Amino acid sequence: MAFVSSGYNPDKPMEDRITDIGPRNYEEFYPPVIKKNKGKWLYHEILEPGVLVHVSESGDEVYTVRVGTGRIMSVTHIREICEIADKYCDGYVRWTTRNNVEFMTDSKDKLQPLLDDLKGRKFDGGSLKFPIGGTGAGITNIIHTQGWIHCHTPATDASGTVKATLDEVFEDFQNMRLPAHLRISMACCLNMCGAVHCSDIAILGYHRKPPMVDHAYIDKMCEIPLAIAACPTAAIKPKKVELEDGTTVNSVEVNQSRCMFCGNCYTMCPALPLADKEGDGLVLMVGGKVSNRISAPKFSKVVVAFIPNETPRWPTLTQTIKKIVEAYANDARKYERLGEWAERIGWERFFEKCDLEFTHHLIDDFRDPAYYTWRQTTNFKF
């Protein structure tokens, strides 16, 4: 393959350079019915799982079909989405903030053929290309991070844990039987580029072994003071180390009992790797939300301190999530989010109803916020 120039001249990088033009303007991409009725929508209705109608004060309607995707997506798959949108939606399509695709049409007549077409499309391996659902009081797509496919700090895979979980709870993607909607989110390390800390159920990749120190290279690869400053518990201090060949080098020492495995040192310094087959796995957090509906937004709470990386399908993880979803579905009142349910019945009852073990790992011991999670009342349930 020969190099094909775009026109860019590396000897004169500023020649014809265009910068700071930002994204394409959203107005270019609105379907006509959206452009016409923006700001004039009166109400919506979910006609069946994954199918919505929005009605405007102009009398116009827009029908939306929501389908799940794997987020990691090939250009072949995007082109197939385009082919469908060209056929049924006049060449317009959109994505939701939770990685679903929405096909919109302004006429009900086009709806059924679109649904039939979407239902018939499968990957060679047998999975659905465009599962319809993700609306109302059910489980929608799981937002997630990169994981082992493209990141340097993960403690687990993101796409795999998400695929395995969504296969397990798939019925609730296509049904609306839960007391309220239930948002599952996945982040593959504590950096949480997925910001899962306010989700009904958060799957979080997690390390459990302190960093190893690559003494021979640390002073060449890293700014040692930055690595030391990166530690939130001050567990890292400078140390001179004698290598096997007798040379003395500047390195660091890790006070292992103070390490909380956040990996921030590794983010700053590649000579302090944490990843480990037995050490790494998952934490499950539940009961968070971002909506202000009825009760204030809430953080998710850690309810399972460790689940191992059982590739390729993480059965302990998916079965634990299923168990929590079923207990919630059976016991919560209509409109109650998972966290609101747990608070109403009490967390002691939550562990009982979800059949989860309560271990010392679940009691907060990190700085001031810990105290506010202990119980300062005699009111509890036996």
Partner 1 sequence: MAKHETPLLDQLESGPWPSFVSDMKQEADARAKNEKNIEYQVAQDNIEDLLGVLELSYNDCTTHWKHGGIVGVFGYGGGVIGRYCDQPEKFPGVAHFHTLRVNQPSGHFYTTDYLKKLCDLWEFRGSGMTNMHGSTGDIIFLGTTTPQLEEVFYEMTHKLDQDLGGSGSNLRTPSDCIGEARCEFACYDTQDLCTHLTMEYQDELHRPAFPYKFKFKFDGCPNCCVASIARADLSFIGTWRDEIQIDQEAVQAYVNGEIKPNGGAHAGRDWGPFDIQKEVIDLCPTGCMKYENGKLEINNKECTRCMHCINVMPRALRPGKDKGCSILAGAKAPILDGAQMSSMLVPFIKVNKENEYAEIKELIENIWDWWMEEGKNRERLGELMKRQGFQKLLEVTGLDPDPRMVQEPRHNPYIFWKEEEVPGGWDRDINEFRKHHQR
Residues in 120-139 at the binding interface with partner 1, rule: CB under 8 A: 123-131, 135-138
Site for partner 1 in 199-228 (CB under 8 A): none
Site residues (CB under 8 A) for partner 1, limited to 257-316: 262, 264, 270, 275-277, 280, 288, 290-295, 297, 299, 309, 311-313
Given candidates 11, 76, 257, 330, which one binds partner 1 under the rule CB under 8 A?
76
Is the peptide bond between 312 and the residue preceding it cis, with omega within 30 degrees of 0?
yes
Pick the closer one to partner 1 by CB: 31 or 211: 31
Pick the closer one to partner 1 by CB: 108 or 240: 108
Residue 360 CB, shortest distance to partner 1, in Å, is 19
> Does 373 interact with partner 1 (rule: CB under 8 A)?
no
Interface pick for partner 1 out of 36, 60, 94, 119 (rule CB under 8 A)? 94
Buried b (16+ CB within 10 A) or exposed e, 21-49: eeeeeeeeeebebbeebeeeeeeeeeeeb
Please, which residue, 78 or 240, has the CB nearer to partner 1?
Answer: 78
Residues 148-167 that bind partner 1 (CB under 8 A): 148-154, 156-157, 159-160, 163-164, 166-167
For partner 1, which residue of 232, 238, 315, 346 counts as binding (CB under 8 A)? 232
Structure tokens at 347: 């967390």
Q: Quick check: 184 binds partner 1 (CB under 8 A)?
A: no
Place of tokens 């747990």: 342
Residues 320-359, mask of contacts with partner 1 (x by CB under 8 A): --------------xx------------------------
State both tokens at 70: 């794997």
The minimum distance between CB 334 and partner 1, in angstroms, equals 5
- Out of 217, 366, 371, 380, the only residue in the binding site for partner 1 (CB under 8 A) is 366
Nearer of residues 148 and 306 to partner 1, judged by Cβ = 148
Residue 320: phi and psi, rounded to 5, are: -65, -45
CA atoms of 288 and 328, how far apart (whole Å): 14
Q: Whose Cβ is closer to partner 1: residue 28's or residue 116's?
A: 28
The torsion of the CA quartet 73, 325, 312, 211, rounded to 10 degrees, works out to 90
CB of 43 to partner 1, least distance (A): 4
Question: Judged by CB under 8 A, how many residues of this single chain contact partner 1?
Answer: 144
Q: Which of 139, 182, 190, 284 binds partner 1 (CB under 8 A)?
A: 190
62 lies in the site for partner 1, by CB under 8 A: yes
Residues 102-121 that bind partner 1 (CB under 8 A): 104
**Amino acid identity of 225?**
P
Report how far residue 331's alpha carbon sits from residue 190's, in angstroms, rounded to the nearest whole number: 31
The token pair at 315 is 């059965």
Q: Which residues contact 137 (CB under 8 A, 6 or more apart)?
A: 176, 177, 178, 179, 180, 181
CA distance 330 to 16: 64
Q: Which is nearer to partner 1, 166 or 356 (CB)?
A: 166
Nearer residue to partner 1 within complex by CB, 161 or 320: 161
The contact pattern for partner 1, residues 20-49, with x = CB under 8 A and - = no contact, is: xxxxxxx-xxxx--x---xx-xxxxxxxxx
* Sequential DSSP letters for 273-317: ----TTT-EEEEEE--B---SSS--B--EEEEEEEE--TTT-HHH
Pick the closer one to partner 1 by CB: 175 or 316: 175
First to last CA, the chain: 72
DSSP 8-state class, residue 25: P
CA distance 91 to 83: 8
Which H or E run includes 231?
A: none
**In the complex, minimum distance from the CB of residue 359 to partner 1, in angstroms, rounded to a whole number:** 20
Which is nearest to 234 in space by CA: 212, 215, 254?
A: 254
Residue with smaller CB distance to partner 1, 46 or 249: 46
| Shorter beta-carbon distance to partner 1: residue 352 or 373 | 373
Sheet-wide strand order for 41-48: 41-48, 51-56, 61-67, 101-105
